[in-house]
């Protein structure tokens, strides 16, 4: 039981953006970071998994082709936190969250229970009656996180989930995803630029470069000087902080401007 991706090809416009992508299965209870330079294909892969972009090849969730799921099955099993956040035109946070859960077919009382629990767990109950249009970018990203977790999908897809978050909420997001994965055995895939967040929560890092897998493994295996120079054009290193945690230190551009 896992997420399997093999021989995946995705074309956007006339360009082959993801090419012959084969990845080892992602098991239940795992968090994988998808990293790589701008334009590498991270969002494209996330959106293909979410069903919003056509793809050729295999994407199997627990052995079932994602392409064979009905719209409702896909909504129930696959959750996406996109880069473009919900605007919720004219809706309050609560209404937006409720609408999302009711379209999954959840009974009203269960939907309400999940929303209240989700808002409480992330300490966001104070936002419930706010108009979505009145929220800051970071607050919208937190609401999108509550929405994703409340849906309880088997596969969680997060496209740059920390892009608008302050330091407190970056950690809260990582903790909430880690807890979901641990307690429900879900599978999480996070497209990230922040290597320190990836180091903090992801046991596996996949490096995409020009639509192909440039490296796949633990942070220590993957983030070696050759790869960093080749893929990002930078020098950098993993060090141990005084508390024993690995941290990524960015040094220089390989070719200074
Ligand atoms: N609608 C589109 N039509 C044609 N090409 C596209 C389209 N959207 C994206 N692309 C191209 O596909 C490639 C991969 O884009 P994608 O957004 O997946 O990259 P990414 O790794 O998520 O980048 P970033 O880190 O900048 O968000 C890029 O070269 C991009 O220019």
Residue 125 Cα, ligand 1 centroid: separation in angstroms?
35
Question: Tokens 């999954």 identify what position?
Answer: 104
- Nearest residue (by CA) to ligand 1, atom 12, is 17
User: What pLDDT sits at residue 49?
Assistant: 97
CA distances from 38 to 26, 44, 199, 255 (A): 24, 12, 19, 18
Is the CB–ligand 1 distance for residue 161 below 6 Å? no
| Number of separate domains in the chain | 1
The reported pTM is 0.96
Give the count of beta carbons closer than 10 Å to the beta carbon of residue 237. 13
C-alpha count within 13 angstroms, C-beta hemisphere, residue 119: 21
Residues 6+ away with beta carbon under 8 Å from 115: 94, 97, 98, 101, 128, 146, 150
User: What pLDDT sits at residue 85?
Assistant: 78
> What CATH number is given to the structural domain containing 224?
3.40.50.300
Candidates 153, 4, 8; CA nearest to 81 is 153
Q: Which domain holds residue 233?
A: 3-253
User: What pLDDT sits at residue 89?
Assistant: 79
Residue 146 Cα, ligand 1 centroid: separation in angstroms?
26
Pocket test of ligand 1: the residue of 10, 39, 195, 209 to mutate, having most ligand atoms within 8 Å of its CB, is 39
Residue 17 Cα, ligand 1 centroid: separation in angstroms?
7
Q: What whole-number distance in Å separates Cα of residue 29 and Cα of residue 154?
A: 10
Complex-level ipTM: 0.98
- Ligand 1 atom nearest residue 44's Cα: 18
User: What pLDDT sits at residue 75?
Assistant: 92
- Ligand 1 atom nearest residue 193's Cα: 25
User: What pLDDT sits at residue 212?
Assistant: 97
pLDDT in tens, the chain (257 residues): 799 999 999 999 999 999 999 999 999 999 999 999 999 999 999 999 999 999 999 999 999 999 999 999 999 999 999 988 777 778 999 999 999 999 999 999 999 999 999 999 999 999 999 999 999 999 999 999 999 999 999 999 999 999 999 999 999 999 999 999 999 999 999 999 999 999 999 999 999 999 999 999 999 899 999 999 999 999 999 999 999 999 999 999 999 99
């Amino acid at each position: 039981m896992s997420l399997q991706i093999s021989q995946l090809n995705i074309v956007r416009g006339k360009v082959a953006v993801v090419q012959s992508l084969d990845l080892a299965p992602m098991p239940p209870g795992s968090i994988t970071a998808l990293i790589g330079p701008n334009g590498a294909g991270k969002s494209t892969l996330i959106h293909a998994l979410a069903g919003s972009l056509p793809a050729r090849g295999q994407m199997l969730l627990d052995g079932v082709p994602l392409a064979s799921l009905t719209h409702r099955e896909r909504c129930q099993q696959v959750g996406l936190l996109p880069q473009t956040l919900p605007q919720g035109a004219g809706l309050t946070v609560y209404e937006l969250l409720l609408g999302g859960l009711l379209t999954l077919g959840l009974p009203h009382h269960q939907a309400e229970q999940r929303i209240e629990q989700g808002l409480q767990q992330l300490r966001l109950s104070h936002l419930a009656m706010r108009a979505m249009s009145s929220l800051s970018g970071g607050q919208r990203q937190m609401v999108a996180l509550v929405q994703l977790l409340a849906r309880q999908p088997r596969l969680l897809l997060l496209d740059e989930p920390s892009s608008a978050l302050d330091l407190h909420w970056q950690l809260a997001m990582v903790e909430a995803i880690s807890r979901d994965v641990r307690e429900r055995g879900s599978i999480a895939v996070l497209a990230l630029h922040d290597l320190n967040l990836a180091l903090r929560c992801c046991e596996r890092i996949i490096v995409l470069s020009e639509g192909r897998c440039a490296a796949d493994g633990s942070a220590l295996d993957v983030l070696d000087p050759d790869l960093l120079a080749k893929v990002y054009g930078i020098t950098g290193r993993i060090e141990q902080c005084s508390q024993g945690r690995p941290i990524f230190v960015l040094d220089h551009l390989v070719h200074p401007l």
